[in-house]
């Protein structure tokens, strides 16, 4: 990201920083969880940690083509974590695999976000990133109940 001092550049830097903060919060939580804790419900009758992590990956993965960064990395996760509720009886990838997907996807997104110039950020990209940041904040709040 250019260090331009325009209001647009300042806004973009703030939005990216908020997104990165939420990523760090999710990372801090998932790195503390044991494999067994990923399979606990965040509250009675609510989603499990494994489902929330897969869901965040599937949703964030859609940003790659939406922002023109390339094809999705993990489109197969949609069926498990977007179109199907938790506890559907379907087998999920192991927590370690999902953590690897999460880290890989976020590294790629961060590289793209920080190399775009301010004039390459259409308003819809900023709005989408704000929405995804709020989405991550919501689910990181749920994940904290597993600690």
Reported as a single tens digit per residue, the pLDDT across 71-87 is 999 999 999 999 999 99
Assigned fold of 23-146? 1.20.120
Residue 2 has pLDDT above 50, yes or no: no
Instruction: Give the tens place of pLDDT for each residue, 86-130.
Output: 999 999 999 999 999 999 999 999 999 989 988 889 999 999 999
Q: What is the pLDDT of residue 98?
A: 98
- Compute the distance between CA of residue 36 and CA of residue 57 in angstroms, rounded to an integer: 20
Integer Cα distance of 119 and 78 in angstroms: 32
Domain limits of the chain?
A: 23-146
Contacts of 129 (CB under 8 A, 6+ apart): 15, 16, 19, 63, 113
13 vs 29: CA distance, rounded Å: 24
């Amino acid at each position: 990201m250019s260090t331009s001092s325009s209001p647009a550049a300042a806004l973009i830097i703030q939005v990216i920083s908020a997104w990165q903060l939420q990523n760090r919060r999710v990372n801090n939580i998932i790195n503390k969880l044991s494999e067994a804790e990923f399979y606990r419900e965040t509250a009675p009758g609510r989603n499990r940690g494994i489902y929330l992590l897969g869901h965040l990956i599937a949703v964030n993965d859609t940003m790659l083509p939406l922002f023109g960064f390339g094809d999705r990395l993990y489109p197969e996760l949609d069926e498990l974590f977007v179109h199907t509720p938790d506890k559907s009886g379907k087998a999920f990838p192991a927590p370690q695999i999902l953590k690897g997907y999460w880290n890989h996807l976020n590294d790629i997104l961060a590289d793209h976000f920080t190399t775009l110039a301010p004039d390459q950020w259409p308003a819809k990209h900023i709005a989408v990133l704000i929405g995804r940041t709020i989405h991550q904040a919501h689910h990181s709040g749920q994940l904290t109940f597993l600690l």
